[in-house]
Structure 1
Amino acid sequence: MTHASGAPGRGPAPAQEHHPVSGQPAAVPGQRAGADQADADRLLLAEGRAQLWRTAALFLSATAAAGAGLMLPAALGRTLDLLLADDGTGGAPAGRWLAVCAVLTCALVVLDAADTVLTGTLNSRTTARLRSRLVGRLLAVGPLRADRFSGGDLVTRCTGNAAHAGTGPSSVASVLAAVVTPVGALVALALLDLRLAAVFLAGTPLLVLLLRAFSRTSADCVTRYQETQARLAGRLVEALAGARTIAAAGIRERERARVLEPLAELSAHGERMWHVQGRATAQAAVLVPLLQIAVVAVGGLLLSEGELSVGGLVAAARYAVLAAGVGTLVGQLNALVRSRTAARRLAEVLAVSPMATGRRTVPYHPGNTGAGRLELRGVRASYGGETVLRGVDLVVPGGATVAVVGRSGAGKSLLAAVAGRLVEPEAGRVLLEGTDLAELDPAALRQAIGFAFERPVLFGTTVGDALAAGLPAGPEGWRRHQECVRAAAGAACADEFVRTLPHGYDTPRAQAPLSGGEVQRLGLARAFAQSRRVLILDDATSSLDTVTELKVTQALMGTRNAEGPNAGERVSLAARTRLVVAHRAATAARADLTAWLDGGRVRAVAPHRQLWEQPEYRALFGGGSGEDG
């Protein structure tokens, strides 16, 4: 999952797979993140505990249904014996047993309905919890750590895999209850006659081996199927993201073939799964009737010798069917295998460690001239397995504007991400007013540091809601903060074009055709509306024309009043500390200081005019004018 601003730093390492059109890094869907089957089983166990009463109710319901199913053959057999022995005076006992059979049949219907309701409720709630945990963990680990998974792979894990894993608690309860039936049937055979149970037990090892082989082979098939499915989804997401490039390059057929290439492998794994299940079912179809015939044959001999009644023979035949209920167990085991395999894929995401957080808040003294001071001490950070920042030391004075410049791949975006703790440094510290960002409460951190990105993503129902994202929500939506939102839009030179939309700020985002520059201005307005002490701009003005960029920069630096179209609408920007990733010389020239990033370290920190005297620095901007590069 890549952050909306794009991947920070120098870009992916050469060994990493890239999309052939867009050039974006493509993570390998099948890669492991340190989770094994034990982790997956613990995950399912935790979810079962979270839904303990529903899981217990399902188990009790299924067990009760199994018990009713086991009593029914005995009741039918007893009823048959009483009817056969009826000489005209024993109708009452037979009637009572017929009533028992009717009650057991009704109980089976009711319990089956309860089982269906409980299973559906438990599965939906567990799936929802798993999806919430996955999304929460992905947001907690930060964009760089989440990049080990491709977007399509994460979509597959959060949708199909989560749904399969969500059936885990119900599958366990159903399997445990399903075991009651064959075990109870075997005990019933033994109670009827030990020889009947002995005949059935003679073939039991074959049944056990069949189920064991099915479980092992099915688990491998399901794992390969889910991994291939994730790879297919990853390619599809890449193609959708690069649809314009694909159309412009005229390579639609080539991309279609590339996206659909895993289908053959997916089909093969799917056919293998059905083959495994079909083989197990076929083997059971041969073995189970043989066991049943053997039990009925022995029962017939016992009947002929007067050691077993007719009703007992009928009950024995039914118990032989229940004891050999491999079909039911195969279906339950197949569901459990799918659930455990999917849970392992979820556990791989949950195994990624979240960034360290604390509980501290940043002390704020409005009159303190050092308010908003940001400091990087010995920061080291990597991207794509390659060290990008090597011992970076940088001080951004409170209330000042520092532009970060450097060659492409120097690590400017990674530095910005580390400075705002979107990425956790491998070494070193980042301090805000003397407090380590790692010690801050996440809410306090996000209230202190704001971002604007090169390619912002807008959230919310309307344009106004998108600009108010990050502000306290309420039933009024963006109108709760409309003065601040409009002032911020004015500062970002966005208010004018927003007002030309069909419904102004209330225009649904889907009905607002926006250019890249307009989206970027809305992203800036969203950042301006949030009263953060530190504002980090990661190349957030790259799509703006020169005049608009000048106006936005002037508002950001406090040299232009950041006012909205109506009197009283104002947003304060001048007092904020600003760290700006810059590619234009003009942007660096307007900053108080410029940090020159070179070779993973800060080569110099000085005013732009002073650095302009060095030829290597001028070469960063093509050697043009220091004012309008």
Structure 2
Amino acid sequence: MRAGDRLLTGTIRRGGPWPAVLAVTAVAGAAGELAVPYLIGRTVDAFVARQPGGTPWLALCAAAIAAVMLCESAGVWARGASSAHAAATLRLGVLRHVLGTGQAATRRFPEGELVTRAGLNAEEAGRAPETVTSALALLVPTVGALVALTLIAPVLTLTLGAGIVVILLALRAFLRATTTIAGGYQEVQGEIAARLVDAMDGARTIAAAGTAAQESRRVLAPLPRLRAHGLALWRANASAAVQSGVVVPLLEVAVLTAGGFMLAAGELTIGELYAAARYAVLGAALSTALGHVGGLARARAAAERVAEVLALTQVAHGTRRLPPGPGTVEFRDVSAYGLDVGDLTVPGGSVTAVVGRSGSGKSLLAALAGRLADPERGTVLLDGVPLRELTRAELRRAIGYAFERPVLVGETVGEAIGDTGAAARAACADAFVRRLPLGYGTPLRDAPMSGGERQRIGLARAFAQGERLLVLDDATSSLDTVTERQVGQALTTDDRGRTRLIAAHRLATAARADQVVWLEDGKVRARGPHHTLWQDPGYRAVFQGET
């Protein structure tokens, strides 16, 4: 069984009460539809023969029709509820998995692709309970019609059975073809979404360069392929509809012809002939399953794409806690994704600046130290404990992380920081936050902030969170010179004695550090005090723009 089919099966099984309600209403409605031709036939025979018992049969007909209508109404409600519940469950599962996977998710899939798979594809896959239940419910009138025709006249059953085989073969071919085509259609949708997200991320650059027209063409370049897949879906649906649709009138004509001869021979009554004709139509009800089968095909293709995201390996955490310690970070024979760190120690309580040209691996080394990425080889330890062995709570309590472009999480500015005291003052954020309409209680959506102000909020969050280690990945790049100097002073004179690892671009940051780790071409070229490394022309060239 494919991963997507397993996901759909699990979605249906964990769909709560709605798939069961949908199944009950579908089966009950199908049973009612089966009963209606028999009851009408008995009613017709009773009135033709002028029997006094015709009225009860007429009442039963009305009751059966009312029951079918009630089941259909309840089914519409249950279909919506089951699809919404399944889609919400899938979206939540994908979101949790992506967040638990970390950077590996965005390395594997572009951001726009992830949004498409967690949004549109999860919604399509969420329709599986509706499509599967509705398609299976059509088997009830088909099987019932075969049984009823056998009771009326076995020869008519053979005619219906042959037609059902033809319909099943057409539906099977349609499911296979549509699943493949729908997968291609959804793939192109994801590609367009990924390109659009990239364009929106660089909207200011595009506007400044005057390249909006070119970028629009780049984003929409896959549209011809999307159109081709859409046309292929339409052709597959039309072809299957013609194949299965032709069978229904042919079946009805065949049953009526055979039944007519039997009526003339006195082997059938008028009511039985009517019932046989209706059962022939009901038995061919599988021909109306194209919509459900098409929905199932799209759900299968979408589930396959969602399953690829869920197949990503999540970051595993251990069960250990940290012993007392100063926050010493050790890299033991570490290499990851083109960066070879080898053996490196960041002394507890010290300030270590990581410098190097763009692309040398500064952000990756910072990610390894904060366990936002795991090494492909070697081990990273904090106070003697491998980061992999720490619990999630212990890891995030021990390490505070600040980024160049922080994402602020929470309802208010205070929640985004997690602290409204010393941490905000150390990041030089307290003054401008207090000028907001509600201070720390200002909702984030109502707090317009510049890039530098957002960085200060991100720094304050790191100061408030990290108890032993602060990792700053170019987290002061948007600050003005005065603010950067004030924040730098707070970092170098941290009264809590925490270890600070800073991926730095500015000369002043490196000069204030206790030691500097100099990266070049994915390797540690040298480490030591700034004034010692400054004697090397290659090191000075890293800061050539500033000097």
| TM-score, structure 2 normalization | 0.96
Q: How does 1:218-367 map to 2 (within 5 A)?
A: 218-363=178-323, 365=324
The superposition leaves residues 345-388 of structure 1 with CA deviations (integer Å, 9 ceiling, x where unpaired) of: 0000011111232122222x3xxxx4211111111111xxxx2x
| 2:388 equivalent to 1:441 | no
Q: Confirm whether residue 113 of structure 1 aligns to residue 73 of structure 2.
A: yes
Larger mean Cα displacement after TM superposition, 423-432 or 394-403:
394-403
Alignment match, 2:429? 494
Distance in structure 1 (CA, Å) of the matches to 2:542 and 2:371: 27
- Return the alpha-carbon distance in structure 2 between the equivalents of residues 144 and 199 of structure 1: 58
The corresponding residue for 1:17 is none
What is the count of residue pairs matched by the alignment? 547
Q: CA deviation at 1:183?
A: 2.0
- Closer, same or farther in 2 for the Cα pair 1:531/1:427, shift >3 Å? closer
Alpha-carbon distance between aligned partners in 1 of 2:141 and 2:185, rounded to the nearest angstrom: 32
Does the 8 A contact of 1:393 with 1:602 survive in 2? no
Shift of 1:526: 1.7
- Structure 2 distance, partners of 1:573, 1:101, is 86
Deviation (angstroms), 1:391: 4.5
Give a deviation string over 1:235-279, Cα, whole Å, max 9, x none.
Answer: 111111111111111111111122222223222222221221122
Determine the structure 2 residue equivalent to 1:544: 479
Q: Which moved more, 1:490-499 or 1:62-71?
A: 490-499
CA distance in 1, matches of 2:347, 2:436: 40
Q: Does the Cα contact within 8 Å between 1:596 and 1:604 map onto a contact in 2?
A: yes
Shift of 1:326: 3.6
User: What code does the residue aligned with 1:605 have?
Assistant: R
Q: Measure how far apart 1:53 and its partner are.
A: 4.1
1:208 aligns with 2:168: yes
Q: Which residue is 1:61 aligned to?
A: 25
Check whether the contact 2:427–2:460 (CA below 8 A) recurs between aligned residues.
Answer: yes
Q: Which residue does 1:471 correspond to in 2?
A: none
Deviations 1:86-116 (A, max 9, x none): 2xxx32x222222221221121122122222
SS of the residue aligned with 2:194? helix
Contact 1:164 1:342 in 2 (8 A): yes
**Structure 1 ranges of 4+ moved more than 4 A:** none
Aligned position for 2:6: 42
Q: Which amino acid aligns with 1:608?
A: H
Q: Secondary structure at the match of 2:449?
A: coil
Asked whether 1:612 is paired with 2:534, we answer yes
Instruction: List alignment gaps of at least 5 residues for structure 1.
Output: 1-36, 469-483, 559-571
2:329 to 356, 371, 374: 374
Shift of 1:43: 1.2
Partner amino acid for 1:402?
Answer: T
Q: Within 5 Å, which residues of 2 pair with 1:49-198?
A: 49-51=13-15, 53-86=17-50, 90-91=51-52, 93-198=53-158
Distance of 1:495 and 1:286 partners within structure 2 = 76
For the 8 Å contact 2:473–2:503, the answer to whether it is kept is yes
Could you say which residue in structure 2 is the equivalent of 1:460?
410
| Aligned residues of 2:515 and 2:528 also touching (Cα < 8 A) | yes
Query: 2: distance between equivalents of 1:511 and 1:420?
Result: 31
Supply the distance in 2 between the matched residues of 1:334 and 1:527 (Cα, whole angstroms): 50
For the residues of structure 2 that align with 1:579 and 1:403, how far apart are their CA atoms? 6
Equivalent position SS for 1:393: strand
Distance 1:573 1:50 in 2: 52
Task: Give the direction of change, closer, same or farther, for the CA distance of 1:112–1:499 in structure 2 (3 Å limit).
Answer: same
Q: Is the 8 A contact 1:557 1:574 kept in 2?
A: no
Three-state SS of the structure 2 residue aligned to 1:213 is helix
Whole-angstrom distance in 2 between the partners of 1:146 and 1:242: 17
Unaligned ranges ≥5, structure 2: none
SS where residue 138 of structure 2 aligns?
helix
1:576 deviates by: 1.1
Residues 68, 104 of structure 1: 8 Å contact kept? yes
Q: Equivalences for 1:3-42 in 2 at 5 Å?
A: 38-42=2-6
What RMSD over aligned residues (CA atoms) do the two structures have, in Å?
1.8
Q: Write the distance in 1 (CA, Å) between the matches of 2:399 and 2:341.
A: 22
Task: Supply the distance in 1 between the matched residues of 2:265 and 2:11 (Cα, whole angstroms).
Answer: 55
- Paired residues of 2:340 and 2:524 also in contact (CA < 8 A): no
The answer on whether the counterparts of 2:396 and 2:465 sit within 8 Å (CA) in structure 1 is no
Letter in 1 for 2:20: A
**1-structure distance, mates of 2:197, 2:377:** 34
Q: Is the 8 A contact 2:400 2:461 kept in 1?
A: no
> In the alignment, what sits opposite 1:11?
none
> Paired residue for 1:19?
none
Give the one of 439, 442, 463 matched to 1:507.
Answer: 442
Greater helix percent: which structure? Answer: 2
Instruction: Tell me, yes or no, if structure 1 residue 406 matches structure 2 residue 366.
Output: no
Amino acid at match of 2:482: V
Shift in Å, 1:613: 2.2
1 CA distance for matches of 2:522 and 2:233?
Answer: 50
1:164–1:339 Cα contact (<8 Å) kept: yes
CA contact (8 A) 2:433 2:440 kept: yes
Paired AA for residue 143 in structure 1? Q
The amino acid that maps onto 2:65 is T
Note the C-alpha offset of 1:303: 0.9
Q: Deviations over 1:537-593 (max 9, x none)?
A: 0011112222211110111122xxxxxxxxxxxxx6542111111112211121111
